[in-house]
Chains A and B, each alone.
Chain A
Amino acid sequence: MSTILECKNLTKKFGGKNALEAVDLNISRGRIVGLLGPNGSGKTTLIKLCNELLTPTSGEILIGGYHPGIKTKKIVAYLPENTYLNDWMKVSEIINFFKDFYTDFNSEKAFDMLKRLNIDPQDKLKTMSKGTKEKVQLILVMSREAQLYLLDEPIGGVDPAARDYILDTIISNYNENATVILSTHLISDIERILEDIIFIKEGQIVLTKTVDEIRDEEGKSVDALFREVFKC
């Protein structure tokens, strides 16, 4: 199986503090991976580094064989925690924006998902609730036919019904060569779709396993194992 994301001895310091410490990671194509850890464990830092929103202090990241840059941005679909939507466009306009900048963007898919979630493409982004904005962002990201999806807390702000639809969308929308990495601490909600898990704690990877391994070897759910590993 070929690798889509590789981290070699990746370290990121803020001031004198290590946010990530010597992280080695190898993620194959075609997997759904949960990046799990408590608040402040380095999940967002890792994802931002992959998107060139931060520069590593040392070590390196390779995505599809390239360091983060123009080439990787073309194949990575990123959902940040923040709402990045501006206040002057309509939904249909931001869809055109994505279509303009990403050649792998599928507008049909986007309009279809908007319809399913009852969002009017003519609505202004400005007037939307926070939850609706999150849905729009997720639709924009999942409408790309990317090779790597990096979703930072994708379900945090939406209601449980939409949560189910979104998770189904994630599973059904990506092709078998693409990898999805989700960061979250809401494990029980997403456990059913995960194939691999990465536990991260205080900037270090403490465990990487497939979900099947956890169930077979430990006889536990991911949620139960998480509670054990990160016991306060």
Chain B
Amino acid sequence: MLRKLLKYEIKATARLFLPLYLVLLVFAGINRMFSIIHFESFNDSAFGGITAGISMTVYITLMAGTFVMTLVVLIQRFYKNLLGDEGYLMFTLPVHSWKHILNKLIVSMIWVTSSGIVALLSVLILVPLDISLKEFLRQIRLFGIQLMDQFGVGVYLIGLETVFLSFLFLASGILMIYAAIALGHLFNKHKLLASFGMYIVLGTISKIFLSVYALSIGHFENIENVGTFFESQIAFFLVFIYVTVIAAVYFLLTQYILKKKLNLE
């Protein structure tokens, strides 16, 4: 059933994101074109200058819009599709409620990641490739060599772990939003406002938890100094435990509310 949920969730969201991505990339291309013909004194003319200015403004707006929309859709798909009127349909499907949460989470992660990739891609289109990209790649290689010197072949493992942890952080961030919305749903009035308040509360609680966690570890391990490969592995593991625990708590809290405390209007 999760596969079917994913199919419809992707359909419902792709129709919003794909056109936006396309327009963003097209405008990056247009701006790039202006910067090329700049040398042929097109931009010196008033018309050329204004056109280039407008197209740059549009591009920047689109870029900001992509990030705003990613966040708005992430919230809307949970709030409207599960806790709004559409919830009457979704929660009477023969599907476990944890699958609804997992479905929303996976699809949100896909879109956050692709928005990031498309934004990066648009910057690469916009900025003259020959200079900046080469320099960029050179810097990455230098950084890689540095790491290699320090950790040896373990650098590949560290790279993988970094990617994995980034996704785990992303997941826990999204689950925190879901948990806040679910908690806000328990209020009779001003549910959106309550959700916002709950988000702040959850953020504060997880920060307190982090401090306690870090302090208790600090007693027997100094994790600030990750000089060797072995120490880096301990640090990864400790961060992994922290993120997994809070993500699990948010997930279970959301699941509990959706299952036992649901009260659609």
Contact = CB atoms under 8 A, between A and B. Distances in A.
Chief secondary structure at chain A's binding surface: loop
Given A83-B85, A88-B15, A101-B4, A78 B261 contact: no
A82 interface: yes
Interface residues of B, number: 24
B93 A86 contact: no
B130 to A, nearest CB: 43
Given A53-B262, A101-B4, A86 B86 contact: yes
Chief secondary structure at chain B's binding surface: loop
A80 interface: yes
Nearest to A14: B263
B67 interface: no
Interface in A122-148: none
B93 A54 contact: no
Given A54-B262, A83-B85, A84-B86, A73 B94 contact: yes
Interface size class of A (residues with CB under 8 A): 20 to 34
Given A70-B94, A73-B93, A53 B8 contact: no
Contacts of A226: none
A52 interface: yes
B95 A55 contact: no
Contact of A54 (B12, B92, B263): B263
Contacts of B92: 51-53, 73, 76, 78
A100 interface: yes
Nearest to B4: A100
B263 A86 contact: no
B55 interface: no
Contacts of A84: 85-89
Contact of B8 (A54, A55, A97): A97
B81 A86 contact: yes
A74 interface: yes
A2 B7 CA distance: 39
A99 to B, nearest CB: 10
Nearest to A152: B88
Interface in A87-103: 88, 97, 100-102
Contacts of B89: 84-85
B91 interface: yes
22 contacts: A48-B264, A51-B92, A52-B91, A52-B92, A52-B262, A53-B91, A53-B92, A54-B262, A54-B263, A55-B261, A71-B94, A76-B92, A80-B88, A82-B88, A84-B87, A85-B89, A86-B86, A100-B4, A100-B7, A101-B4, A101-B94, A101-B95
Interface of A: 48, 51-55, 70-71, 73-74, 76, 78, 80, 82-86, 88, 97, 100-102
